[in-house]
Amino acid sequence: MSLDLDGAGAVVTGAGSGLGAATLDALVGRGARVLALDLEPDRIAARAGVTALGVDVADGDAVAEALAGWEAAPLRLAVACAGIAPAGKLVGRDGPHDSATFRRAVEVNLVGSFHLLRSAASRMAALPPLADGQRGVVVTTASIAAEDGQTAQCAYAASKGGVAAMTLPAARELARHGIRVVAIAPGVFDTPMMAGMPAPVREGLAAATPFPKRMGVPAEFAQLVLHCADNGYLNGAVLRLDGGLRMGS
């Protein structure tokens, strides 16, 4: 049974840019009340039904407090989009990969997703079930780098591999609460994160995508988030959304 988003509560991290911003738009379009979190909340477009807050997802207490203080609607959907994509070689020109960069990627991408998952699931578990026993859905954002990480992506790939790996155990554990957990593993999407990459890298990745030969657009990601809410049989899965792209080294 699908999750009716009209009037339902949703939380989106990384809602100020790229995939999170497109998800926020899509949820508002479906009539959801949304708690929009971002490290840079000024980027979040103000509109009716949206509460924007500045939160670092790596700070578990801050994520928990943001959710605890938001009472606009029963929380039925949580979407983790906040993320960073540092690149660095293990053996670089200036020496070994610095461990602070590696740690920050894991803290934001993996631990940040975990913080949203645990806080949102706790809120959802306390709600009365819907007619089919469902209480809510958590969607996280992995990456195809979890499977085909490229050179200089050790930190990013490790963090996204963790996001993908926690999907099934989380879905198994939360099944008794009627909470589904799905991860989306995007290929290459045209967002400010990708805009930071050199043009030849962006063009090469678009050209390497079998079909269509272009980067994904954020609205296509948001469409899949909505489908995760809509399709009540989708659970415990990591869904690649990549135009068939398999990244080379």
Binding positions for ligand NAD, rule: CB under 6 A: 13-14, 16-20, 38-40, 43, 55-58, 81-85, 108-109, 112, 141, 143, 186, 188-189, 191-194
CB of 178 to ligand NAD, least distance (A): 26
Three-state secondary structure string covering 26-92: HHHHCCCEEEEEECCHHHCCCCCCEEEEECCCCCHHHHHHHHHCCCCCCEEEEEECCCCCCCECCEE
- Of 126 and 219, the one with the shorter C-beta distance to ligand NAD is 219
In the bound state with ligand NAD, the residue whose beta carbon lies nearer, of 36 and 179, is: 36
Q: Which of 156, 166, 167, 222 is catalytic?
A: 156
Cα separation values, 196 from 15, 84, 186, 191, 200, Å:
18, 11, 17, 9, 12
The answer to whether 105 touches 99, Cβ cutoff 8 Å, is no
| Least gap, CB of 17 to ligand NAD (angstroms) | 3
Task: Supply the minimum distance, in Å, between the C-beta of residue 64 and ligand NAD.
Answer: 14
C-beta of 40: minimal distance to ligand NAD in Å? 4
> Are 248 and 145 contacting, i.e. CB atoms less than 8 angstroms apart?
no
Cα-only R_g, the chain: 17
d(CA 50, CA 7): 12
Within 10 A of 210 (CB to CB), how many other CB atoms are there? 10
Our CB check for ligand NAD shows the closer of 111 and 175 to be 111
Catalytic residue status for 233: no
CB-nearer residue toward ligand NAD: 64 or 130: 64
Residue 80 near residue 115, CB atoms below 8 Å: no
Active-site annotation, residues: 156
